[in-house]
Amino acid sequence: MERLQKEQDFIQHCLNHVYRIESWKERQREKDNQIKEIKEQRFLKFQEKYTCHKPAYGGARIVAPDGMVLCVCDTKKAQWYLNNNLAETISEEPLVIRLKFVPSGLS
């Protein structure tokens, strides 16, 4: 009878130990998931703050009167030259404009 009690106690001890290990593993998984979520949130904040939200260049080209490409800019800037009658449209798609004056760096 005493031997049976010892075996039951041993089994109970082993089961308690297994339960504690599994509980610890579950807490670690939860902690790891929380850390992963925090890192993901930090990355998303970083990405929102420091990445471009529009193309760096709009694809419009500004050409000097002699035909030399001066720069690539966004369409808003090219449209400014057109609205102020400082340039003429050469092509619509992609937008290419030719300046009506010689820029100071070229003269």
Choose between 90 and 7: higher pLDDT: 90
Average pLDDT, the chain: 90
pLDDT for res 9: 85
Distance, CA of 41 to CA of 35 (rounded, Å): 10
Q: What is the pLDDT of residues 17-60, one digit of tens each?
A: 888 999 999 999 999 999 999 999 999 999 999 988 777 777 89
Three-state secondary structure along 46-63? HHHHHCCCCCCCCCEEEE
- The pTM score is 0.51
Is the pLDDT confidence value at 107 over 70? no
**Extents of the domains making up the chain:** 1-51, 60-99
In the block, residue with structure tokens 């504690």? 20
